Amino acid sequence: CKRSGRTRFSSQDVAIALGAALQPGSAGVDLTHPEAVCRIDIHDNLVKLYIDETPGPGGFPIGTQGRAVALISGGIDSPVAAWFGLKRGLEVHYLFCNLGGPLQLWGPIAAARHLAMQWSYGYRPILHIADFNALIQAFAPLNHRYRTILLKRYFYRAADRLARRIGAQAIITGEALGQVSSQTLSNLNTISQVTNRLIIRPLVAFDKIEIIAQARSIGTLPISEQVPEFCNVAGTKPRTRSSGAVLDNLEKAVDPIIAESAISNWTSLDLKNLPEPIKPDDPVLDERPAGACLVWLDNPELSAPVPPDADAVVDILSLRSFITGYRRTGVLLFECVQGIMSRDAALAAREKGLDAYRYHRPG
């Protein structure tokens, strides 16, 4: 029995009286392994008796523990990490650092909106989107083994800048120790050095199976499963150990104007006032029209041979500048190893008014 308000009796008095009333119809009393447990809530003159219980998420009311910025992507991990922040009473706002086009943008918007509509009570969560395409291009001449670590350092800088602007005390990430090369203890330490703000990693000791189970429980898994893993910006054999001194030296080659623009400018979306995002269609052709320009998207991580009929080869880091500067008329086809980046490239080119498609090679 739980009581609140004014009552003339104790919880134990209620338990004894209720037990005495139910005992004649029972098979006996077993306080260790009972067949049925009756619970009663009393508030002043209102009495609620119930037998079944459904476990809830627990935690604290949102906002009672402060405010945080969650770095979110369309993958499985980061929405789960943000949810744990909500569970522990944090008012969570979101930052997505966009490296691609419309397909890559759909996933984090859909995941953040789900968290906002289903789990975020008492406030209006905002999704902030930073355009990192120009910054990615600036990484092209740098040592490819450090690219992912470099990129995450700028993610953290952007999150720190946003946290300062909205009065957040912490940054939430979906990193799990040792899950990928950038999440070794050495690299996490190097990445963390760019901010003095508290970094919360709720999933640091989780394995992937546990994270997937939690994503299914909170409802973000169906969204994340539709978001393909995009071609890695890193080259082959990414570093698993790094130091702040090495990264500081590499960053000297990055144009500070481009870097500052990436980490300090955002498009902001009120997630509770946002219609459900529609996943972009796949503009695909399995036949090459006459006169079409075929562009092969090169990814050093996969080391695939360039098709002999390709008209151009574009490094994935230079894709956005290629689309912006493209001046030919006619059909533009993109092809890559997995068919993922080529789809996003075609959608991005269509936004620029180009007649672009993903090329699905027959056979």
Residues tagged active-site: 336
H-type alpha helices, 196-243: 208-218, 221-224
Are 316 and 233 in contact by the 8 Å Cβ rule? The answer is: yes
Beta bridge partners of 41: 2, 48
Residue 179 tokens, joined: 């899950």
Distance, CA of 326 to CA of 310 (rounded, Å): 16
Distance, CA of 155 to CA of 41 (rounded, Å): 48
| Phi, psi at 99, each rounded to 5° | -110, -5
Distance, CA of 188 to CA of 300 (rounded, Å): 24
Residue 87 tokens, joined: 């569970």
**Tally of residues, the chain:** 363
Residue 103 has, within 13 A of its CA and on its CB side, a CA count of: 22
DSSP 38: -
Amino acid identity of 348? A
Q: Which of 289, 299, 292, 287 is nearest to 344 (CA)?
A: 299
3-state secondary structure of 67: strand
Give the number of other CB atoms < 10 A from CB of residue 198. 13
Strands of the sheet with 67-71, listed across from one edge = 198-200, 170-172, 67-71, 91-98, 126-131, 267-270
Angle between helix 102-119 and 77-87 (nearest 10):
20
